[in-house]
Structure 1
């Protein structure tokens, strides 16, 4: 009898896992008038759900120089979402991972830079995903997250486009507060050759710290304070971050609090790598899922 019970349990678990498993596509492309070409993306789609079901969507942004597969390879996203959805920790959702190169997720075509990626993602990609897949359209069911450069991008896209996203999670975001402690380790003090390497034509023909600061998430804090429904915000960073991004992350948290907002902050042991991000990404996904899930 015990052997039969164990067999039944094993069969049930296998069946549950099969239902929970999602499917990943890495070769998709979204037409993007903003870029003048297609925008590549990867996508995770939940499976085993009733016909006609529509899902909330999270957009996951990669780090500097990476691409649409980073969250899948380094982050093991498929395995993580299969486990979390299968265990009932989060409701089924769609995850979209665009390829934005070294763009810092800003519009830079006017500088002959990487391209207008801010518009490409917030307008063109979102429209394509809503048209092509069974999404719950609207900001209430859309979240965004990112690592490093992608953390910077997730914050500024969520802050500047609350009509698109209602929740954001930034893991080790590349942010530096103008005039703050973090500025001393940021691009403002880097030699010109390093500025050009890390921010290639994203702020001008040459690096422009004034433009960079205007593009920063810090520049939008005042606007957030005036919003009736500002996005939900989670900040997470390792205390051993190689780039010392814990400084800017904590400064943003304090600045948001001073503005009357209620961000959440996680500072944990860890560096600036996927070993840390894999550990904290389930918390970030749970944070987002809890705020964009259907009622």
Structure 2
């Protein structure tokens, strides 16, 4: 008969192995909320949250570099939106531990209501487009083991973040391997000379990112569609992943379909997913895993 103390040691050891601790691999990711760095583009600190995948701290992977997804939030959220409501760590932990997804770093910046464009020249929220394109990757790639090549850099977002992700990727295809856009707030009804019926609502939504009052010409000049010629003949293949819920009350599914059709008409490769649901977190939480797996499928076998 085994001594009770020995049985306890065996059980504890088994639990440690199961959790990965004896192997030097944490079973769960590390999620660092509300970090900050000094952004030259903003002229002030930029906040962000960062997800480090299982195994990131393992001694045997000290030289490994990981692909990075810059994941952008929508209007009304901040750097804690995706962690708190999108459950990024839970989704990626599950997929990575199961072997269904290679480890990724995910960076989730706070973009206020900037629409992820530059607006300091008109008194808007600030130059968030440049901050996310230049300053944030430089900081992340310096302080964490993030891949520094285009093949390991992705951008994605929801609603306002979908608009921003598409704009960043289409304007700078040399910087990103792929873009993912969920329920993108594309506002296709905005045309030259368009005027809103409720200016106060526009102020709440856009916060001066395109001028105050809202300037449709500036919005159109910053729209992802303006940069489509860049992805007709990009310097290297760029993946485009579009997703929306079929019951989106803001009509994002229709705007997404319009963009999908325009990309196809231009012979630009694109993936489309229309899921069940509205403009809400339960749709985006479910869409996150398939999008990440699609990103992983684009990467070179050796990880770039």
Same fold (TM over 0.5): yes
Cα distance in 1, alignment partners of residues 139 and 90 from structure 2: 25
Q: C-alpha separation between the residues in 1 aligned to 2:229 and 2:136?
A: 28
- 2: CA distance between counterparts of 1:188 and 1:121? 30
Question: Are 2:94 and 1:107 equivalent residues in the alignment?
Answer: no
* Superposed CA offset, 1:147-167 (max 9, x none): 111111111111111232111
Q: Which moved more, 1:222-231 or 1:52-61?
A: 222-231
Give me the TM-score of the superposition, normalised by structure 2. Answer: 0.87
Q: Give the structure 2 partner of residue 213 of structure 1.
A: 220
Q: 2:279 aligns with which of 253, 272, 285?
A: 272
Partners of 1:56 and 1:292 within 8 A in 2:
no
User: Is residue 142–residue 292 contact of structure 1 (8 Å, CA) maintained in 2?
Assistant: no
2-side partners of 1:91 and 1:20: how far apart?
14
Find the aligned partners of 1:120 and 1:159 in 2 and give their Cα distance. 16
Q: Which residue of 2 aligns with 1:197?
A: 204
**1:24 and 1:43 in contact (8 A); partners too:** yes
Paired position in structure 2 for 1:3: none
Q: Deviations over 1:46-88 (max 9, x none)?
A: 2424221111111110110210011111011111111111011
Q: Which structure has the higher relative contact order (CA within 8 Å, separation 6+)?
A: 1
229, 244, 264: which is aligned to 1:257?
264
CA deviation after TM superposition for structure 1 residue 130, in Å: 0.7
Q: What is the count of residue pairs matched by the alignment? A: 283
1:164 equivalenced with 2:175 (yes/no)? yes
Once the two structures are superposed, residues 229-278 of structure 1 have per-residue CA deviations (whole angstroms, 9 ceiling, x without a partner) of 24200000001001111111000000111111110000121100111111
Are 2:68 and 2:106, in contact at CA under 8 Å, matched by a contact in 1?
yes
Q: In the aligned structure 2, how far is the partner of 1:190 from the partner of 1:70?
A: 30
1:155 aligns with 2:166: yes
RMSD: 2.2
Kindly state the Cα deviation for residue 30 of structure 1 after the two structures are TM-superposed. 2.0
Q: Quick check: 2:38–2:45 contact (8 Å CA) kept in 1?
A: yes
Contact 1:167 1:292 in 2 (8 A): no
> Following TM superposition, by how much is the alpha carbon of 1:223 offset from its aligned partner in structure 2, in angstroms?
2.2
CA distance in 2, matches of 1:19, 1:230: 35
Is the partner of 1:19 in helix, strand or coil? coil
Quote the residue 1:23 is aligned against: 30
More helix by share: 1
Structure 1: runs of 5 or more not aligned: 1-6
Dislocated runs of 4+, deviation >3 Å:
7-20, 187-190
